[in-house]
Amino acid sequence: MSNGVRMNRKLEYYLSEVLLTAEQIQGRVAELGAQISRDYAGRDLLLIGILKGAVIFLSDLLRHITIPVQVDFMAVSSYGAATLSSGVVRILKDLDEVVEGREVLVVEDIIDTGLTLRYLRENLQARQPAGVRICTLLDKPDRRVVEVPVDYLGFRIPYRFVVGYGLDCKVHFRNLPYIAAVDQEKIRELF
């Protein structure tokens, strides 16, 4: 990966437009947390955060879940250096927890082609959980290649490459508290 990319300018320089403000995101995440708490009341819930993009979403969502819940993580890689999905998904870090017989909720940052979540759903289903559902902060339906049912959705957005609130471009921008589209011209300076 491109660990060595140096940024000499402010983060904002590379952005074209804010799509979702921190306030909008916080409001929706609170609603999702309340809904998940209602739906899973009385059940043994395991949240699976997908590293690294979903970490901020997961940690905010978790604080709006009011029922007992456990957390685990998986790391997968599909993109390599490019921003286009290759369709090849590799597990970089697997779960610590056993999921057999448990209610699993996958927490993802964004669904684009759907290839990553289809792979994850099939991989988890093979471990015989009581159920697998998907919660994604963002949905970009324009480039969907495979249909994946999404049970909890934050926001549907048009096709743009977006960063912030955990999402990166060239390993940067995860720390922005809002979600913005990158400026396609200026971002090339980082490649």
Nearest to 104 by CA among 116, 113, 117: 117
Stretch that binds ligand IMP, among 17-25, 97-105, 124-132, 156-164 (CB under 6 A): 156-164
Per-residue contact string for residues 50-79; x = within reach of Mg ion by CB under 5 A: ---x--------------------------
Question: Binders of Mg ion: how many residues, by CB under 5 A?
Answer: 2
How far is 124 from 30, CA to CA, in rounded Å? 26
Question: 109 with 136: CB under 8 angstroms?
Answer: yes
State yes or no: is 112 an active-site residue: yes
Name which of Mg ion, ligand IMP, none residue 176 binds, using a CB cut-off of 5 to 8 Å depending on partner kind: none
Task: Kindly identify the residues of this chain, within the stretch 25-64, that bind ligand IMP according to CB under 6 A.
Answer: 53
Burial of 126 per CB tally in 10 Å (0-12, 13-18, 19+): exposed
How far is 10 from 84, CA to CA, in rounded Å? 25
Could you give the residue numbers annotated as active site?
Answer: 112
List residues near ligand IMP by CB under 6 A: 53, 78-79, 85, 108-116, 161-163, 167
